[in-house]
Structure 1
Amino acid sequence: MTAGRKYWLGADEGMTFTPSGENSAYTEYADTVPRAMTEHSRTMDPGVFEVVGRGVYQVFGYALSALTLVVGTDGLILIDPPEDVEKGRRQLEEVRKISDLPIRAIVYSHWHTDHYAGVKAFVTQEQVDAGECVIIAHRDFMANVLAGNASGTGPLLAARVEYSLGSLLETGPEGRVNGGLGPDFVMRTISLIAPTVLVDDRLEHTVAGVRMVHSWAPSEAIDELITWFPDLGVLQSAEVIQGESFPNLHTIRGSRYRDPQQWFKSIDRHLRPLPAEFMIPSHGRPVAGRAEVAKVLRDYRDAISYVYDQTLRQMNRGLLPDDLVREVRLPAHLAASEWLGDFYGGVPHSVREIYVGEFGWFDSDPTSLDPLHPAESSRRYVDLMGGREAVLAEARKAADGGDHQWAAELARHLVRIDTTDREARQVKADALRRIGYTTPNSNWRNYYLTAARELDGTIDYSRKLSLDAPDQIAALPATALLEGLRVRIDPARSANAERTLHLHLTDSGQDLALHVRRGVLEAVPGLPEHPDLAVELTKPVVLGMVYRDLYGTLAQAVDAGQAKITRGTPADLREFLGWFDPLDPAPIRLSDR
């Protein structure tokens, strides 16, 4: 940010900014970085915004998310710890420059890692257990965290996060430029403390003398909570307003359908009626001024509504996803908004998701019902085009002429046929890299560049993320983790199996029955009537089983006296646990297709 420039958005008065530290985004102009992307990076200098006279602050630019701080009469309220403990500690330094009061409440606005995983930089589990600090979240928060780790789609989600957020890339002109919603996203130490105060639809209460109202506003996440401070005139908009970018109506890293209609109606119902004089988002800089806040909210909901409504309008004319991308564009007045840039979410991939979300994958052409496998289809196309050498030559010709998308599509056929074809992989990688250098959207850029490195063998897997951090896992219910074995049962190995395992957790007193019936696992809380097998064990043993080696961990625990087989034999248990897939530590490859 240049000297003399107003750092926040909206009105000139009512807010101050104190810079502190170096910007961790890449901020230099380069031929491999679109100018708009560089200028977006330059809005991410770290520092502290203060809503003057209200005791409200935003600690900005130290992580993908920004921390909201409210100073009460005898304590502090924090909203959205960052993605790791290290960034949280840096934020805490800024918090302590403002106040040394104890932290009385922490709000997780939703279940995504960058809104809770740095919590132990601020408070300990012991402080929460002692009632010194409450943790506030939506009632479904823990269930959503669980679904996003190894008990659900965690392994694939982690791989796709690495692609879309660029964590396998270095920061620089040929790598990661910024995090789209913040300067960077690299997670080190992930922590979690389970919520102690759960919000259903709405909760109004007072903490540290500060009255606040939490409202459930499903949008970017299904469990999203906004927080309104009625006596301060401040709205903490969470990620309902998703930073200074068009919202991620769909995230290319993968998620369940984010209903755009639900999203803009959440803005209409829960945010726009509030007389907010200031808005503090979880991503992006704050907004000052009642009229300016109202305009941001209106433009944001209008952009979502426009894309959704026009997509359905064109669908009703018979257009398919590829056609919709050409037809549905933001109108000029919305495209020009500083809150709707092409830096994180994007209209083209949102339009495609709306089609699938509303109608499913079938495009009404019966040819799509049972198509050839892509590898077989590619083999036939390559034969038609004159064979491998002809296709490779045409791909290189396209690349030399600057038609990098066509070059990548041609080379893709060759890679599908033979994933070890180094020349084809290199042509595709070079094409993707050139495309990536031209897009200001951080998710698209990172996906292009990471895929290119996977294809040409220059990818650095030592930077690999693990969403299954020990501290996070320890906070999850053991019985729920065991239920997650449903997605790991091998139907071939368990095709003729019908057996029940009773697990008694001695440290919590919980009981769980795992019923295997010919390729299906049913997990039922409580005592089974006639189990075939039974084991007494502790939660740490369960964690080792789920995240390391199912039978090996249990056998070691039995030998060490940390678990006890009370029905059946070790051989029986080895057979039972052998029906489930082990976790594969190898990276999931996404670009060989």
Structure 2
Amino acid sequence: MSEQYWLGAHDGVTFTPSGNNLAYTEYSDTVPTAMSDHSRTMNPGVFEIKGKNVYQIFGYALSAMTVIVGDDGVILIDPPEDVEKGRRMRVELEKITSKPTVAIVYSHWHTDHYAGVKAFASQAQVDAGEVQIIAHRDFMDNVIANSISGDGAILTARADYSLGTLLEVGPEGRVNGGIGPDFIMETMSLLAPTVHVDDRLEHTVAGVRMVHFWAPSEAIDEIVTWLPDLGILQSAEVIQGESFPNLHTIRGSRYRDPQAWFRSIDRHLRPLPAEFMIPSHGRPLAGKAEIAKVLRDYRDAISYVYDQTLRHMNKGLLPDDLVDRVSLPETLARSEWLGNFYGGVPHSVREIYVGELGWFDGDPTTLAPINATEASRRYIELIGGRDKVVAAADKAAAAGDHQWAAELLRHVVRVDPTDQPARIGKAEALRAIGYTTPNSNWRTWYLTAARELDGTIDYSMAINIDAPDQIAALPGAAMLEGLRFRIDPAKAADVELAAGFHITDTAETVGLIIRNGVVEPTTEIPHDAVFVASLPKLAVMGMIFQELYEGLKAAVDANHAVLDNGSLEDAENFFSNFDHHSAEKLTLSAQ
């Protein structure tokens, strides 16, 4: 490609385009110009760092995969979000080299950095020691906590809204993924790590010397990879593409400490004499001076937003006022690495307030507020009734004040979620707002919420965190421990029961003890277990993702499980204290 498509210095990189851009690149009245321009930075192809045997396969997924060709094998960093995209990347990989893959690095636990791994390696190859899987020591714990055990269900529902997976690509749907052209997950896979990084790990694979640093930032288990003999830094998602960093993700996450983030840049990235930087999102950057400036500006942007938010918090400002007060200075705002395409200053400011002080704003009126639905009912009555609220919203929308229209109609929909005219009015207001923002997370949430409200939503492309191949790689004990979040204290009132499980093919032992409306998992069989089952992990999966008792009974009836003591009636009584499995989709916008 004759025109430079990478960033920074003119020399040292080549780009070979291949295929069509997965993002929406046209200009439209429903897409901000800046957003369409941003899509045009995502043409797929292969970047080569000349003379280094290092490549980036770019534009085929939300993430971009780094390829390092060693003496007798290939090292990959960050496979894409699903096997289908991985297979498309593999076509490009095989144009680069015929050497076998010998190591795969997961920079962190988010699915777009590992879930396509089985396009490049198999469990048999890992078991045989032919392929190393390298990740932070906490990688698997984080995958478990955010899938089968913890808040995986709500996070997945919110991810569909944030990432736009329920929208089509086009002027009225997804435009791009903010830090990549698109995000749709089909077949997810997982190979558990075999090499663990603590704070730092230096080793040589296929003749390539690598140093991995733990760099908490966008994820708590983030690792960056430095190739000292090549002068190349793989910056993972510490540098989060060509966008302001997602200091908080609106889909939901634990607090991402901005100070830890910019200090990771200061401690682990800035001291390195990198000649080239390859991020996991976004195009490569060439040139020592150019890399130094980007790293400096990126850490300064994070520090600025954090420091100024704290400065004004210390003056007593609340989140709404902080959002009005804190914005990037022009010297940073004009950086091509800090656009409002994925992360955003306004929602970062709000999260910093909550992360540092918690939800309480200092006004005791908010300590025990009237229930939101009841408050909405009273507001509607005060205004003069439902029709007057809707009329006021219509007037606001006609004047272009779509935010006020949506806020008014929220009260009506909250009180009566079946009020279709109000739902449609709110949907139209949200859609109008969504069409004006270049931030991909905001846009897709507005537009997905609009479709939920007006009934045009399509759940067929919803993310499935219970993907069989991924779950099969997780410990069986973690699946059973996840039942903590399904215990119904109303059913379990005054119940004290215990059960035990021997997971035969993985040699795991799990006890579950019910008392006081909680479940305590143990690594031993409780002495008073009312039943003990011996079963393979596949049967545990059948229980967890169907009905608990029915899944166990089916395994027993098929001779896949046996009861070492107790009866099926005992098991049925034990499992009656838990929520039923539900495949019903969560709704988020009529609340």
Q: Same fold (TM over 0.5)?
A: yes
After superposition, residues 413-424 of structure 1 pair within 5 angstroms as: 413-424=411-422
TM-score under structure 2 normalisation? 0.99
Aligned to 2:38: 40
1:109 pairs, out of 96, 107, 110, with 107
Q: Distance in 1 between matches of 2:311 and 2:503?
A: 55
Deviations 1:519-578 (A, max 9, x none): 110001123333232111111001111111211110011011111112212111001012
Structure-to-structure mapping, 1:99-498, within 5 angstroms: 99-498=97-496
CA shift for structure 1 position 497: 1.1
2:541 to 531, 540, 543: 543
Cα RMSD (Å): 0.8
- CA shift at 1:4, angstroms? 4.8
Output the CA distance in 1 between the equivalents of 2:274 and 2:454: 51
Cα shift at 1:465: 1.5
* Secondary structure, counterpart of 2:240 in structure 1: coil
Aligned-residue offset at 1:509: 2.2
SS state of the match for residue 466, structure 1?
coil
Q: Is the 8 A contact 2:530 2:570 kept in 1?
A: no
C-alpha distance in structure 2 between counterparts of 1:56 and 1:284, whole Å? 16
**More deviation in 455-464 or 345-354?**
455-464
* Aligned partner letter, 1:153: D
Task: Give 3-state SS (helix, strand or coil) of 1:211's partner.
Answer: strand
Aligned residues of 1:212 and 1:227 also touching (Cα < 8 A): yes
Q: Does the Cα contact within 8 Å between 1:74 and 1:208 map onto a contact in 2?
A: yes
Match of 2:65 among 45, 67, 83: 67
Aligned partner of 2:19 among 18, 21, 24: 21
CA distance in 2, matches of 1:221, 1:170: 28
Q: Is the 8 A contact 1:510 1:526 kept in 2?
A: no
Q: Write out the 4+ residue segments of structure 1 that deviate beyond 4 Å after TM superposition.
A: none
Aligned partners of 1:197 and 1:42: how far apart in 2?
Answer: 38
Q: Distance in 2 between matches of 1:505 and 1:166?
A: 38
Cα deviation digits, residues 47-71 of structure 1 (max 9, x gap): 0001100111000000000000001
- Give the distance between the partners of 1:528 and 1:269, measured in 2 at CA: 48
Cα deviations by residue, 1:344-380 (Å, 9 ceiling, x for unpaired) = 0000000000000000000000000000111111111
Taking the aligned partners of 2:507 and 2:355, their CA distance within structure 1 comes to 42
Q: Distance in 2 between matches of 1:446 and 1:74?
A: 44
Q: CA deviation at 1:500?
A: 1.2
Q: CA deviation at 1:23?
A: 0.2
Q: What secondary structure sits across from 1:5 in the alignment? A: coil
Q: Cα offset for 1:230?
A: 0.3
**Where do 5+ consecutive residues of structure 1 fail to align?**
none
> Match of 1:90?
88
Aligned to 1:11: 9
Q: Structure 1, residues 259-293: CA drift from partner, whole Å, max 9, x if none?
A: 00000001001111111000000000010001101
What are the Cα deviations for residues 160-193 of structure 1, in whole angstroms up to 9, with x where unaligned? 0100000000000000000111000000000000
How far does residue 150 in structure 1 lie from its aligned partner after superposition? 2.8
Alignment of 1:509-520 (within 5 A): 509-520=507-518
Please, which runs of 5 or more residues in structure 2 have no aligned partner? none
Kept in 2, the 8 Å contact 1:257–1:357? The answer is yes
What SS is found at the alignment partner of 2:463?
A: coil
Separation in 1, partners of 2:92, 2:440: 28
Amino acid at match of 1:376: E
SS at match of 1:105: strand
- Counterpart Cα distance in 2 of 1:495 and 1:5: 69
CA contact (8 A) 2:156 2:463 kept: yes
1:374-419 Cα deviation digits (max 9, x unpaired): 1111111111111111111110011011110001011111001100
Whether contact under 8 Å (1:103, 1:122) holds in the other structure is: yes
Number of aligned residue pairs: 591
Match of 1:58 among 50, 56, 61: 56
Q: Matches of 2:581 and 2:351 in 1, distance apart?
A: 30
Aligned equivalents of 2:131, 2:500: Cα separation in 1: 37
Identical aligned residues as a percent: 68
2:481 and 2:465 map into 1 onto residues whose CA distance is 18
SS of residue in 1 equivalent to 2:338: coil
Q: TM-score of the superposition, structure 1-length normalised?
A: 0.99
SS of equivalent to 2:501: strand
Task: Tell me how far 1:508 sits from its aligned partner.
Answer: 2.1
Q: Which amino acid aligns with 1:270?
A: H
